């Protein structure tokens, strides 16, 4: 099971598309999970909703569609 390379959390979401991307639920780090290797590691700081422009906030909770599948992994215990 993959762990986050930055905070070592096991709560990781994998997306299967052109590249198998992984996202840490704890620290929001993103990386390419290539078998046992982790590459292109980035820590993303999510923007606060309070600093967005009002025109963006009135558009509603619409998300862009993506041709990927998502799998969230959590440790058993």
Q: For 32-59, what is each residue's pLDDT tens digit?
A: 998 888 888 888 765 554 454 554 444 4
Residue ranges making up the domain that contains 34: 1-45
In 10 A of CB 73, how many CB atoms? 14
Tokens representing 62 are 């619409």
Residue 29 maps to a domain: yes
Q: Are strands 69-73 and 37-43 parallel, antiparallel or unpaired?
A: unpaired
- Answering whether pTM is above 0.75, one says no
Residue 53 maps to a domain: no
Residue 60 maps to a domain: no
Mean pLDDT of the chain: 74
Exposed e or buried b for every residue in 20-43, given b needs 16+ CB within 10 A? bbbbbeeeebbbebeeeebeeeee
């Amino acid at each position: 099971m993959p762990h986050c390379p930055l905070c070592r959390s096991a709560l990781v979401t994998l997306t299967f598309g052109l590249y198998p991307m992984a996202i840490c639920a704890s620290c929001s780090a993103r990386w390419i999970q290539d078998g046992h290797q982790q590459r292109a590691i980035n820590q993303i700081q999510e923007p606060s909703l309070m600093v967005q422009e009002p025109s963006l906030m009135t558009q509603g909770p619409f998300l862009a569609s993506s041709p990927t599948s998502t799998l969230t992994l959590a440790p058993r215990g």
